[in-house]
Structure 1
């Protein structure tokens, strides 16, 4: 089966991580203004019930109302973990070859992760949000996470994963993936879909660089949900896709082992 896709040969997405009441509201409002100015609709990763002590801002009492406004604007709502409560874990298995030793998900059973997914999903639904995407804190998840995501389809709670290394969305182990090759925006010549990731601790130069990039290439940015909806996803990536994915995992795994 070949790809069936519409539109441009190169498409971009922006992913905003760590949305929660304790995030840096000033920086978040600034990036929201920039994205609205250029009509860019990002993926926004919402932490259902934040317990991460690194987020120290005073809780925004209006956070959930703001999140509902993002959804109304057509932003893709993603379930970003459950508590963002990290512990150390020795990476092992295919999905962790290049990832951090900090995790909220990896190492737990599929049943436990399934219950965490259901709990997080219901918390967001209780606040008026419907997540269509999932990504784990620190990019760290495992086979059991993917199995649990696949099982969510039986609850009519289908989500794709924003992660993985490829040039196009793909399907693996019964779950759809929207790959994330880079953090910082780049002008890329190869046909594909590229997601750029921004945390909520952006610095002055990050805002300037992002706006400069959007001035030139805003027309190439798409909603993640729209992109995923326009793909007839292959069960396998094909030879080139597999080479790219496995090569990046391998190279990043070597880098991670030296850190």
Structure 2
């Protein structure tokens, strides 16, 4: 039987909270404890334009934590500084991947200090755009107490590189026969249909949701390594094929003369 979790990304002081409230109401109704990816010092201009500044941002984060929500360190500033897709090859933009270790170390140290000053315990690390590298992991080991990574493509939680990994595989609620699955949503851009589909799924399968803090982790095996490599490279190939087809179709499309 499959197990499910939910992760919400991009919680920051300038959220449009009306887009987040339906999620929180759903969680309260069915006693679901999600991962909330909290940005400690947001400078992302897109997120800064979503709503008015929330002077109660950190009290709200502390309140969510008190409900049993797992708080994730969602980077430091959510400011993309490279086009490196990192270990998982999902998005070619990153706040961390490809940057020198000292720069990443400073970001993790600064983020850790903010959460500590605000009295918010951090359960896991959530890289913006799913993009991070080995230097990010090294910085987390040296500059923070965080030992859980919310990311990955396998269908089970596992231990690897000194961290516990909770894969974040899906951007919509989809039934699975086995495994442990994280549904990853961005409330600021989530459509009404996507949320309605989530609500219907939760209504039907809410007993199959688990708390991130209660997970057990299995050792990362050679088979996991092969499967992970295959899953990542398959996606890279599919993305490259889609890009090639779009470029080809664009090049062969007839141009009209005005």
TM-score of the aligned structures, taking structure 2 as reference length: 0.87
Structural mapping, 1:182-193, within 5 Å: 182-190=170-178, 192-193=179-180
Correspondence for 1:65: 59
Correspondence for 1:4: none
In structure 2, distance between residues paired with 1:29 and 1:91: 32
In structure 2, distance between residues paired with 1:171 and 1:198: 24
In structure 1, distance between residues paired with 2:238 and 2:136: 24
2:97 pairs with one of 92, 106, 109:
106
Shift of 1:122: 1.4
Deviates further, 246-255 or 77-86: 246-255
Verify the 8 A CA contact 2:81 2:95 in the aligned structure 1.
Answer: yes
Runs (4+) of structure 1 exceeding 4 A deviation are none
Verify the 8 A CA contact 2:159 2:165 in the aligned structure 1.
Answer: yes
In structure 2, distance between residues paired with 1:256 and 1:53: 27
In structure 2, distance between residues paired with 1:61 and 1:21: 7
* Structure with larger Rg: 2
**Greater relative contact order: 1 or 2 (C-alpha under 8 angstroms, separation 6 or more)?**
1
Structural mapping, 1:1-259, within 5 Å: 9-55=1-47, 56=49, 57-91=51-85, 95-96=87-88, 98-152=89-143, 157-190=145-178, 192-200=179-187, 201-227=189-215, 230-231=216-217, 233-234=218-219, 236-239=220-223, 241-258=224-241, 259=243
Shift of 1:34: 1.0
Shift of 1:112: 2.5
Shift of 1:114: 2.2
Give the superposed CA RMSD.
1.6
In structure 2, distance between residues paired with 1:47 and 1:124: 10
The one-character-per-residue Cα deviations of 1:86-145 (angstroms, maximum 9, x if unpaired) are 1342446xx14x221211001112332122112101112222211110011111111111
Helix, strand or coil: the match of 1:78?
A: strand
Verify the 8 A CA contact 1:13 1:224 in the aligned structure 2.
Answer: yes
In structure 2, distance between residues paired with 1:185 and 1:243: 26
In structure 2, distance between residues paired with 1:166 and 1:250: 13
Verify the 8 A CA contact 1:147 1:173 in the aligned structure 2.
Answer: no
Alpha-carbon distance change, 45 to 90 in structure 1, aligned in 2, over 3 angstroms: closer
Verify the 8 A CA contact 1:51 1:84 in the aligned structure 2.
Answer: yes
The one-character-per-residue Cα deviations of 1:128-176 (angstroms, maximum 9, x if unpaired) are 2111100111111111112222334xx5x13311111112111222222
Gaps of 5+ in 1: 1-8
Verify the 8 A CA contact 1:11 1:222 in the aligned structure 2.
Answer: yes
TM-score of the aligned structures, taking structure 1 as reference length: 0.87
